[in-house]
Structure 1
Amino acid sequence: MKELIKYKGLQVSPAELEALLLTHPDIIDAAVIPIPDEEAGELPKAYVVTRTGDLDNESLAAQIMAFMAELVSPHKRFPSDRILCEIPKSASGKILRRMLVEQTRNKT
């Protein structure tokens, strides 16, 4: 799977966004994948695991998005994020982005 997200011809690194997400005090794990967008080509979508494990905390999701908006350029911001119990990883600890992409496609 490719590692860069193409937003209106600009390249966005999922690893960079994941590293920034992990600086948030309530986040213990993060993954960023591309999602298709008619206008932009692709948008970054964040999946995070929180310290509390609260999956339906809309105020925390909004807080995380505001936190990231202060740190990154507009083309690196996500339209939404998703809070998960855990991020799927391989035995070596690598994020299984393909599984997240498939889950996202199946929900739309």
Structure 2
Amino acid sequence: MNAVFYSALLLTIASPASADSVPRYDVAGYCQTVSDVSGGSAMIYNGCVDMEQIAYNGLKARWGSIPRRVRSYCDEVGRVSGGSYSILEGCIAMETEAANGTSTFKY
């Protein structure tokens, strides 16, 4: 039982989302998948890589100021999509906006 707990704890501590640096995604693989959907377009691939680079650079500059909970959740969202910094960045923006304006229900 303790071994399972410590293994889970180690995985949590070692995961990219809990680190103080932006997680590493396979941008080439992700962008190839995006390109393949459109028939293997080099223009789509290059545009995807450019978008991912811009998103990564923006995240890198402010990663430490993003709450750990948001980083962790949005890293999972970014990974589910195949590893996209653009999706990670969008998730962080939406989570931050939602945290700044809690909805209320009105009758």
TM-score, shorter chain, exceeding 0.5: no
User: Normalising by structure 1, what TM-score?
Assistant: 0.27
* Structure whose CA Rg is larger: 2
- The TM-score, its normalising length taken from structure 2, stands at 0.27
Tell me which protein shows more strand as a share of its residues.
1
| Greater helix fraction, Structure 1 or Structure 2 | 2
